[in-house]
Every structure is written in C-alpha cells, then in structure tokens.
Structure 1
Amino acid sequence: MKIQNPVLPGFNADPSMIRVNDTYYIANSTFEWFPGVRLHSSKDLVHWQLLPSPLATTTLLDMRGNPASGGIWAPDLSYADGRFWLVFTDVKVTEGAFKDMTNYLTTATDITGPWSEPIKLNGVGFDASLFHDDDGRKYLVQQTWDHREYHHPFNGITCTELNPDTLKLMPKTARTLYRGTDVKLVEGPHLYKISGWYYLFAAQGGTVFTHQEVVARSKSLEADSFETEPGGPFITNFDTPDSPIQKQGHGALVNTPGGEWYYASLCARPWHHATESAYDPRGWSTLGRETSIQKVEWDDQGWPRVVGGHGGQVTVDAPKDAIPTDAPLIHSRHDEFDQPTLDNDWNTLRTPFTDQTGSFGNGQLKLIGHASLASNFDVSMIASRWQAFNFNAETKVSFDPFSYQQMAGLTNFYNDQHWSWIFITFDEQKGRVIEVAENNRGHYKSYLQDQAIQIPEEVTDVWFRTRIRKQSYTYDYSFDGQTWHEVPVTLDAAVLSDDYVLQTYGGFFTGAFVGLAAVDYAGYDEVATFDYFDYQELPD
C-alpha cells in the first residue's frame, strides 16, 4: 500500500496529526469558512474519511465580520486523559502591524463531539498547540506576535504552563523556548517528548515557496535551551523546484503502533502558464495548501530525517501495520438536497447555515438573497473546495428577480475580493438575463453587459455549469438540461490562487471553492431555488 501525496487534496492546510490506538486523525485550518476546523480519520494513512467539524455552533465559534483568511488558524488536536483536546485561534485582524486574536480550548471524549464550551486561553500569538508532558503537566506552545515596527513580528516560540485542574494558563511561567534561525518567521510549533528529549518542530520562511520545517531539541523546557537540527531544514521544497509538491513545512509528527514514524505537512501543487517560468514565479496554487505525509527515520544522533531527502516524495510507503480504510480517493459527489442537514463537504462563510440563510430538504435548496459576494456579512452561499485541477460542476436554479440588484447562480470563489460567477439577474430592457461577472482584486467586471443572454418567458429553470481545466475555466448554460451553450468568456484560474492573492493581500491562506449563491442587496430577500449540485473530477 502506498501513500499518494497530497493525501488531503484541495484546501486542507496546517495539519495537526495524532494517533489514538489504531486510528489516525488530522485537523486542518478553515480560516473564515464555517464550520471551523476540518477533521479526517484513517487507519492506513492512505484513505481518509471526512468527519463532522467540531466548531459547528456560534457558541464555539463566532466569525461574523472576520476578514478574509482570518478566523481559524492552525488548530491543534491532541489526546490525553481519555479525551480529545482542541486548541484553536480565531484571528480578527490580518493586515497591518497587529494580529488581534484569541486562542481557545475545547475538549470532547469522542472525536465527533459534543465539544465543551470554549475556554479562552490568551492572545499572545497564533498557531498554539498543547503539549501533555509525561509528568502530568501541560503547556501551551505558540508563535509569539510582536507589533513593534522596530522588531521582527515573529518573536520566537513561547511556552506557558496550563493548570490541568482549572484549564487556565499561568502567564508568569511563560518563556521563549526557541527563536528560530536566520530564515525567520518561526511559527507552527509542535512539541514532543521522545527518548528523554523534548523535540520542537516549527515552521519557518513563511507559508510560500521558501517555506520549511526545522527541528530543535532540549533536555528541558528552559528558556532558549533548544538547539537546531544540523544539516539544514527537516523538510523544504525551496531547493527542489522541479518537484510537483511544494511549500512543505508546517505540520505534525506521529508514530505507528509498529514503531514507524510519519510527518504530515501542508503542501501545494503549483502550475504555471506556458508563457511563464516554472521557477520564478514558481506557479499558481489554485487548490490552496493541501496535506502531504512523509515517512521519517531517525539518524544515529537521534535527529529525525525525511526518507528520500528533505524535499519529500510524492509516493510514500504506507505503514507495515496499516489497516485498510474505506474512503474514496476521488472526491466526485452529487447532492439532491433531500437530506435534513447539509453534508460535511459544504461550507458557509463566517456563520452557519440558518433559516435566515434559507432551507434545504425535499430535493431543493432555497437560498434567501442577502449581501453581495464582496461582503463579510450575511452572504447566502454554500460552497465546496476545489479538490482537483480538472472538474465539472453544475446545478439547476429557479429565480425570478425584478431588479438588477438581485442575482443567483453558480460561483467559483476564493475570497470577497477574488471570485466569479454565472447568474440570473434582471435587465430593464430584456427582463431575466444570464450574466457572467468577475471580481478581481476588488475590481468588478460584467463580461456580457448589453449582450446578456435573455431567458425566454416560458423558461422557469436554468441549468448552469462550470468547467475547470487547471489553468483556465469557463461557464455554460442550458434551458432544458440537455443542450448546453458555452458563454464565450475564458477566465484565468490563477486569479483564484494563494499566490495571486498574496500579491495584493496578506490573507492568502485558503484556496478556490465552487458553490451556489443568491444575492439581493436591494434588501427584499428574493429567494433562489436550486434542485441539485453535481461535482465530477476529471483526469489531470
């Protein structure tokens, strides 16, 4: 059995991996997407089952108004004392000198919940993780933020003891364990105790093509006592530009029941246009930051080394004691909206789906039009990750607008500044029409304008389809579900990539989504009805 990287394709960043008995779990960041924290389980490290997200109520997570790429940063999952512990950060400011945030702790005896009321920990820095020492003491280990313009903002890795009875931090115990190397931007810490050593795994270099993971160790948790692993970073792709896997770094270590070791890391698979260098810029990561798993061995000095070199491998040997897991490697799906709850693949922006958003069941999804897709409040949209470079997605929608301020259709979406869609709207001369529009760095463009496609009066339903072909994508429509017409607009998929967003905005941490949306910024709550959603992955 082989691990094929990435094991979690599409936006599944900042993996925190643990093992409980014979089952492995990975928790991933979700940023402004609700519900918070994405969970998967596996018994073979190859096939991964999607689990319910733990932060599924506004009691546990309130992100209303959060900026794009704020919200849940680098959750940490651990298991001790017969329960799961989840530390998560809700980031409220992403741009400028400050990173206003709050770190919380919630626990559950079962991975599917219920999860306890969140306990506020601190706001010292993001990427907080919980270390359970073998003497029963507990410590919060985290990146430390420094807003002062005359200091580097990444001010080392801080360790603060947590009272195991009250679950409150003891601030006076805080000390800096590790300041990183000259690469800077040290973050994403995870602490382990192995063979009498404390091993600190931490990311550096920023979550871009210079990303890397370093390892340091110490015999104690005293301040500045950690020494860095010799021989260069533990994992990086900065010097392996030809590898299809890039940006590896931030992640977590796990051992198998049989004593083998593996490391889960974020990664990306950039592509480039034919007119561009494959090295600089290295490409466009439309699928966002994904999760890879590499095998780890220990050298004779007690340092961990990635098998195959620090660039990692696309294909990795699975554990010898792997238990085959029933989960798909292809993520095609079809939803008739005939269930009383949305399935785990659907996400909403910042807040949960409520009766103010719409309703679903009996074969229909009804979305109540609210704010535009450029808003950070009250967006009526459900969306799923792009998980392949090539796919088709389609839907059937009924919508009867009476104003150009009312729109409903099928969208490809990165954040409030970067998205496009095909939609039904109203034109004063033509009545109901089909338009294709794009928001690129906040600049909105209607592609059809006076050539908007008039919908015949006798047509009640319109079918929409998008065809994603790695570097570009298009939209189609149909009035009968059989005969399709391509809209003569080809859009650059790079606009929906981390790397493109990074050029103008500091929150570039998610990835492209495809979804269904309704807008009525006129404020009359016009309702759009969707009959199904179909997503079919195609070979690369």
Structure 2
Amino acid sequence: MIQNPVLPGFNPDPSICRVGGDYYIATSTFEWYPGVQIHHSRDLATWRLVARPLNGPALLDMRGNPDSCGIWAPCLSHADGRFWLVYTDVKRYDGSFKDAPNYITTCETIDGDWSDPWFVKNTGFDPSLFHDDDGRKYFVVLQWNHRGRGTGGNPAHASFDGILLQEWSPEAGLTGPCRKIYDGTDRGLTEGPHIFKRDGWYYLTAAEGGTGYDHAVTMARSRDIWGPYETHPEKHLIDASHAPDHPIQRAGHGQYVETPDGQGYHSFLMGRPIAGADGTGRYCPLGRETGIERVVWRDGWLWLEDGGTLPRVEVPGLVAAEPEAPQPCETDFSGDVLPAEFQWLRTPEPDRIFRLGDGALTLIGRESPGSWFEQALVARRQEHFAYAAETTVVAFEPETYQQNAGLTTYYNRYKFHAALVTHDPDAGRSLVLMSCAGDYPDGGVEMVGDPVPVAGGPVELRVEVDRATQRFLWRQGGDWRPLGPELDAAVISDEGGRGEHGSFTGAFVGMICFDITGLGREARFSRFAYQPG
C-alpha cells in the first residue's frame, strides 16, 4: 500500500512525471535554498530526494524575497530526451500586486547541471509546460489581476483571472496569440494548471479554493487545446472541504500520471491538522505535504478509484512493499558537503553564511532572524508530529547581546522559537530563550525568562516537540536541564500567526547564528541529530 503522505513535511504543489519505469515529483520550496525538491521512486510508495536543481545565482537569487515568496508550484516534465522545469520566483506577497517572473530550465539528467533559464513572462504564477504530440510546446499559467485586491492572507477571487495558454519554444520564446482558456468554477481562486492529452481530448487540471481548507483539484476537458473547456460533471476530482474530520485536509493542487500498463494516479498536496495546546483549532506544523491517489477512467473523465472526492490514507500501489519505519538522522559534519536534508534561506552565496571543515559546520553571523536578505540559518524539515533534535555549539564567544547562536524551531521571521548562546551585560556568557509567536505585523520578539549563565566551551542544546508543545533543554556535561517553560509549538505552522493563507511553508528545526553588529562573529557546530518521536 502507498501510505499518504508519501513526502511528509513541507513538500507542496507536487508535479509528477514518469520516464520509463521511473517516477519523479517536483515540489515548491518557497524561500528555502536551493530551489525545488525533486524526489524519485520506482513504485510510487518509497521516495528519495535526488535533486535540488535551482542551485546557483543564474537560476535563482531570492535575497529580498518576503516570507512565503520565492519558488511557487514548479512543473516537471520530460520530452525530447530532456527534463524540463518551469518555475516562478515570486517577489511580492502582500497587497494587490504579484511580481512573479516565470522561467524554464532543462537538463538531460535529473541530477545534472541545469541550463541557464529562459525568462518567459511575468503574467502570474503556477506555470506549466505542455508538450503536444506534434512537438509543439505550450506555456500554461494563471493570470493575476492586480485590480482584484488580492491581499495576502485574505485572497480575493477577482485577482485569480483565469488560465492563459500560449505557444512557446526554446528558439523563439512565446509566439502566437495568448488566450484565456479557462475561468474555473464557482469555487474560485483557480491556479496550478496542468494539461495532458488522452484519446484525442485535452484535459486540464487546476487547483481551486485557495491552499487552505477549501482546496480542491478541478478537472476540465476540450477537443481543442484552445478550448472551450467543459468542467468535470462533479467539478472536483479531489476535495476534502466537506469532511472536516477526515485525516487528510487541504487536498488539492496535483498532477495526473499513468503507469506503463495504463494505471492512473494523481498527486495532490495535503495537510494533516492537529489541535493546539488548548485542544482547539487546526494547525499544520508539517505544512502542506504530498499525497498520491489512484484514479480510474469512466465516461471520459477521471474519478477516484474508491469513489467520491476524499483521498485515502492507504492507496493500492504497484508492488508489495512494507512502509519504512521512521529513522533517526545524525551528522557530525565531518564531510565537505552539507547533508541533503538541510537547506538555508534565499541566498545563492552560501559561503557567506556557512562553511564545512575541521569536523564542524561554521555559521557566520549575519543578519537577524527577521531579515529577508542574508541569514545564517541551516535547518531541516520537521517530518513528524513528535521529535527531538540536538546540536552542540562547540565554539562561540559572543561579546554582546547582539551576537547569538544556537538551536531554533523556525517557520518564518514571525514564527520561531530559539535557544541561544549570547552575552548578557550582567550574567556574561549565557543562554537565553527567544520567542516570536506569530506576532504580525509588528514581529515582536519576547525574551522568555532570565538569562542562564554558562561556562566557556561547548554547550549542548536540545528541543523536544510533542505535537502542539515544545521545550528546550541544555547541558554542559551531566544531565539535560530545561531552559524556560513549555512553548507553543502549534504557532510554528501554516495556521499560526496570521492564520490560513498567511504563509505556505512548514516547520524547520536547525542551527542559527546572527550578529547584528555586522562584524560576522562565527559559531561552530559539531553535530546535529533528529530523532522521530
């Protein structure tokens, strides 16, 4: 059985394609660098990260991008003996405008060096590329209407102004007319278009309802690629909005794929909400994850194999396979390459924020946790509702409270907690607990409790997360000791702070160093461990 989610933790907007017996899923990475995660599978059940292709300044530079901007909804395809990746680098989130340049890059191998990108246009986001039987290629994208006042966490339907189609080629770029081919249904917020062809029909799937709890996959078809497109008899192929107690919520935005023997599957993004610490509310600390459902053809339309529109937690797969048990992950940073599970924020110049060598990860203190430009933060996704993470700050000698290094649970600049080694004017070298619990728009940071003096030398830091609560601990030899009280872990989630539609990534845990004096005080970390609960 396929166990959903197949990609746990922040892995949204899954674009799936097949090359022979190999399946690939590309997912959004927003402000995290390198851009786009690509996972590989041969059975649709077990997946392995194989590439993050947008890994240099020619392909991606997100310095200055606001939270939850950057790479939205890539599309991965294979044609002409090459992989093709279409992506958007969104430069603005709040307000009426979306500055959203779209690009296309290509590579013969999934893990090779991708080409310098072709710029396509700025019309909107969620682009895709359709390769027709006659060799022609078509660029498909949402049109954004700034007159519709689409205001960030409160999206306006009028801003989502239909799906556009135009022919494109590597040699000539966009050619011929640009036409709107689909306005969507009354669910609105129509985005995430993908086209495929079968039995003489052009099929269009789109995401609707926004990426929160009204999300859905909508389907339409036409005999002509230019339309008109008729909508599915039930409108939505995948939709959990009518079943608030179903374990899979926020189901939408995916793509159809067919096995070599004609079986149909559809990827989709999903959320698994938990209650807050007080037992109320719905929070998705793991962000928007990737699921897969089995689909069947009936009367020229796709339907979920099990009927209805609710995706299942367990789905029949291609081969008999036991689900993999959660595994701990530990690194001593002895290599010269950052382990694959880690990413950083925005910058294509990682040598300015970290380096590996001499058995340690050295973070070079840069801007504050509130910066959109250059943060020394190296972190990995939270993939489990309960986990523990540890690190050792083996060397850090701050001279002012403006120099800090330690362990953080992080969503964005408004939603994080951190246990930090710093210098206190009264206590000297100390540990402090810093929290920003979704305080928008002011972004106020609270110092929780009093500084705890610590001796010179290494300091071990630990965080234990249990669904909606978390606690930091520390030690310098001896037993672990708590640092401050329990904290609200639910705020480190999509719905924390601004709430639904306010942000789109997921919870991370990792190492941070900032020096707002601008002098670049360095911190050395000798290890990092992540243990599923």
TM-score by length of 2: 0.95
* RMSD over aligned Cα atoms: 1.6
Q: What is the aligned partner in structure 2 of residue 418 from structure 1? A: 415
Mapping of 1:316-355 within 5 angstroms?
316-319=315-318, 322=319, 330-352=326-348, 354-355=350-351
2: CA distance, partners of 1:470 / 1:429: 36
The answer to whether the Cα contact below 8 Å between 1:412 and 1:419 also exists between their aligned partners in 2 is yes
Alignment deviations for residues 484-535 of structure 1 (CA, whole Å, 9 cap, x no partner): 001231111121111124439x651100100101111012211111010000
The answer to whether the Cα contact below 8 Å between 1:501 and 1:508 also exists between their aligned partners in 2 is no
Count of aligned positions:
520
Q: Secondary structure at the match of 2:491?
A: helix
Q: Structure 2: which amino acid aligns with 1:337?
A: F
Q: What is the aligned partner in structure 2 of residue 305 from structure 1? A: 303
Q: What is the aligned partner in structure 2 of residue 162 from structure 1? A: 168
Mapping of 1:351-370 within 5 angstroms?
351-352=347-348, 354-370=350-366
Mapping of 1:145-156 within 5 angstroms?
145-149=144-148, 152-156=158-162
Alignment deviations for residues 30-58 of structure 1 (CA, whole Å, 9 cap, x no partner): 00000000010000111101112000111
1: CA distance, partners of 2:406 / 2:53: 30
Residue 362 of structure 1, CA deviation: 3.0
* 1:495 corresponds to which of 491, 496, 510: 491
Q: What is the aligned partner in structure 2 of residue 173 from structure 1? A: 177
Q: What is the aligned partner in structure 1 of residue 230 from structure 2? A: 227
Q: What is the aligned partner in structure 1 of residue 154 from structure 2? A: none
Residue 352 of structure 1, CA deviation: 3.6
More off after superposition, 235-244 vs 285-294: 235-244
Residue 222 of structure 1, CA deviation: 2.3
Residue 324 of structure 1, CA deviation: 6.6
CA distance 1:274–1:401, change in 2 (3 Å): closer
Q: Structure 2: which amino acid aligns with 1:163?
A: S
Alignment deviations for residues 280-318 of structure 1 (CA, whole Å, 9 cap, x no partner): x5x10010000000000111x111011222111000000
Residue 331 of structure 1, CA deviation: 5.0
Q: What is the aligned partner in structure 1 of residue 380 from structure 2? A: 384
Q: Secondary structure at the match of 1:494?
A: coil
Q: Structure 2: which amino acid aligns with 1:144?
A: Q
CA distance 1:93–1:78, change in 2 (3 Å): same
Mapping of 1:49-64 within 5 angstroms?
49-64=48-63
Residue 332 of structure 1, CA deviation: 2.7
The answer to whether the Cα contact below 8 Å between 1:332 and 1:537 also exists between their aligned partners in 2 is yes
1:265 equivalenced with 2:268 (yes/no): yes
2: CA distance, partners of 1:324 / 1:110: 27
Residue 197 of structure 1, CA deviation: 0.5
Q: Secondary structure at the match of 1:230?
A: strand
CA distance 1:395–1:126, change in 2 (3 Å): same
Mapping of 1:70-469 within 5 angstroms?
70-149=69-148, 152-166=158-172, 168-170=173-175, 172-223=176-227, 225-273=228-276, 275-277=278-280, 281=281, 283-299=282-298, 301-308=299-306, 309-319=308-318, 322=319, 330-352=326-348, 354-397=350-393, 398-440=395-437, 441=439, 442-448=443-449, 451-456=450-455, 459-469=456-466
Residue 274 of structure 1, CA deviation: 6.7
CA distance 1:410–1:152, change in 2 (3 Å): same
Q: What is the aligned partner in structure 1 of residue 35 from structure 2? A: 36
CA distance 1:366–1:377, change in 2 (3 Å): same
Q: Secondary structure at the match of 2:242?
A: coil
CA distance 1:352–1:337, change in 2 (3 Å): farther
Q: Structure 2: which amino acid aligns with 1:229?
A: H
1: CA distance, partners of 2:277 / 2:467: 12
2: CA distance, partners of 1:435 / 1:75: 39
Q: Secondary structure at the match of 2:361?
A: strand
More off after superposition, 136-145 vs 155-164: 155-164
Residue 275 of structure 1, CA deviation: 4.5
Alignment deviations for residues 218-237 of structure 1 (CA, whole Å, 9 cap, x no partner): 000224x0000012411111
* 2:526 corresponds to which of 509, 521, 531: 531
1: CA distance, partners of 2:210 / 2:12: 13
Alignment deviations for residues 117-158 of structure 1 (CA, whole Å, 9 cap, x no partner): 011000111000000001111101111100113881001111
1:514 equivalenced with 2:509 (yes/no): yes
1: CA distance, partners of 2:532 / 2:348: 27
2: CA distance, partners of 1:274 / 1:447: 18
Q: Structure 1: which amino acid aligns with 2:244?
A: P
CA distance 1:191–1:175, change in 2 (3 Å): same
CA distance 1:109–1:324, change in 2 (3 Å): farther
More strand per residue: 2
Alignment deviations for residues 95-121 of structure 1 (CA, whole Å, 9 cap, x no partner): 100000100000000000110001100
Q: Structure 1: which amino acid aligns with 2:245?
A: D
The answer to whether the Cα contact below 8 Å between 2:448 and 2:484 also exists between their aligned partners in 1 is no
Q: Structure 2: which amino acid aligns with 1:307?
A: E
The answer to whether the Cα contact below 8 Å between 2:130 and 2:139 also exists between their aligned partners in 1 is yes
2: CA distance, partners of 1:331 / 1:511: 20
CA distance 1:273–1:324, change in 2 (3 Å): closer
Alignment deviations for residues 358-379 of structure 1 (CA, whole Å, 9 cap, x no partner): 3113321111111111111210
Alignment deviations for residues 249-279 of structure 1 (CA, whole Å, 9 cap, x no partner): 10011011121110110000001137455xx
Q: Structure 2: which amino acid aligns with 1:51?
A: V
Q: Structure 2: which amino acid aligns with 1:115?
A: W
1: CA distance, partners of 2:320 / 2:35: 29
Q: Structure 1: which amino acid aligns with 2:458?
A: D
Q: Secondary structure at the match of 1:447?
A: strand
Q: Secondary structure at the match of 1:498?
A: coil
1: CA distance, partners of 2:97 / 2:279: 35
Residue 6 of structure 1, CA deviation: 0.3
The answer to whether the Cα contact below 8 Å between 1:47 and 1:329 also exists between their aligned partners in 2 is no
Q: Structure 2: which amino acid aligns with 1:273?
A: G
More off after superposition, 352-361 vs 469-478: 352-361
TM-score by length of 1: 0.94
Q: Secondary structure at the match of 2:236?
A: coil
Alignment deviations for residues 150-209 of structure 1 (CA, whole Å, 9 cap, x no partner): 88100111111113533x112x41111110011110000110001110000001000000
1: CA distance, partners of 2:48 / 2:347: 24
1: CA distance, partners of 2:405 / 2:278: 35
1:6 equivalenced with 2:20 (yes/no): no
1: CA distance, partners of 2:116 / 2:424: 49
Q: Secondary structure at the match of 1:443?
A: coil
Q: Secondary structure at the match of 1:183?
A: coil
Q: Structure 2: which amino acid aligns with 1:529?
A: R
